[in-house]
Amino acid sequence: LRLVSSLGFGFSVGARPRREGGGGRMSYDDVEIEDMEWNEELGAFTFPCPCGDLFQITREELRAGEEIARCPSCSLYITVVYNPEDFAADPTKHDGGIEGHKQQQPISVA
């Protein structure tokens, strides 16, 4: 089942392959970034692939607006659903603005 919002964003229900736009490519599923795990060793957000490996997407790719996480062992890929503002480059943050990893702001006490 594929639902489309009034803004034109598509959402799929269930882990079934679906056809992307005019290119005819197949996205295995749409996955929220919150459902992915950060893998320090790979330096990427990961999600289990049916082949046994992991779909992967890096912070740099997310900052660049990429939304496709690929599996290095097979031809499957997923569409990552995320807010690009959460990954916008901010020179004052060392973590790239990832939600849940925000630096604490100083509090002044009178």
- Give yes or no for residue 95 having a pLDDT over 80: no
CA nearest neighbour of 45 among 73, 70, 13? 70
Instruction: Supply the CATH number for residue 52's domain.
Output: 3.10.660.10
Contact at 8 Å (CB) between 41 and 47?
no
Q: Does residue 1 lie within any of the structural domains?
A: no
Q: Does residue 92 lie within any of the structural domains?
A: yes
Tell me the pTM. Answer: 0.61
Q: Does residue 6 lie within any of the structural domains?
A: no
Q: What pLDDT does residue 108 have?
A: 63
Q: How far is Cα 65 from Cα 47, in angstroms, rounded to an integer?
A: 19
Q: Give the other-Cβ count within 10 Å of 31's Cβ.
A: 21
Q: What range does the domain containing 88 cover? A: 24-102
Residues 10-57: pLDDT tens digits? 444 444 444 444 455 678 999 999 999 999 999 999 999 999 999 999
Per the structure, how many domains does the chain have? 1
Q: Does residue 38 lie within any of the structural domains?
A: yes
